[in-house]
Structure 1
């Protein structure tokens, strides 16, 4: 999986998707229902780092594979949707 840029993008996408779900489904309820804001601080920082790494990797793959700009926009758009990066991973398996 780590041998190609697409493999690394898939890995980062999965990590980014998991961190997004943890942020939405665990950390935010802890903050707003149990008044534990540190959960969002920690998970949010980790998710932010993974998101930036994912976007940079999308750009790298877009240029190295000479894929269209629309593909890059689509990949970044999917990262804003819960479970979107898992859908992107499914698409990238075929490429």
Structure 2
């Protein structure tokens, strides 16, 4: 495997990981912390989960920037990933899509 393929593969793997983390924290924030705050008057949940999700979101944006800067990304791919980071559960679909993209990269490098 060439160095550029390894860099691309590492960037994809990191992006997949951060997509999962970001998506998980978004779900926790939207479906656990916010209802706890508004329905049960437990605002501490949002004060804890909010910054955790914010950090995960920034890490995802960083990983996306690194991956895209390596080249080979269509604007629609980037838009898909960004929109997916804002919609609960969409990050999991993006993770599967990124896994397929990574597998295709590995198959291409074997040829």
TM normalised by structure 1 equals: 0.91
**CA RMSD after TM alignment:** 1.2
Kindly report structure 1 stretches of 4+ aligned residues shifted beyond 3 Å. none
Number of corresponding residues: 93
Is the contact between residue 9 and residue 54 of structure 1 (CA under 8 Å) also seen in structure 2? Answer: yes
For structure 1, list consecutive stretches of 5 or more residues without a partner in the other structure. none
Q: What is the Cα deviation at residue 66 of structure 1?
A: 2.5
Matched, 1:34 2:46: no
Counting only pairs closer than 5 Å after superposition, residues 1-95 of structure 1 correspond to structure 2 as: 4-95=10-101
Where relative contact order (Cα < 8 A, 6+ residues apart) is larger, the structure is 2
Deviations 1:32-87 (A, max 9, x none): 11111010011010001110110121111112143122211211111111111100
Looking at CA atoms only, which structure, 1 or 2, has the larger radius of gyration?
2
The structure with the largest helix share of the pair is 2
* TM-score for the superposition, normalised by structure 2: 0.79
User: Tell me, which stretches of 5 or more residues in structure 2 are unaligned?
Assistant: 1-8, 102-111
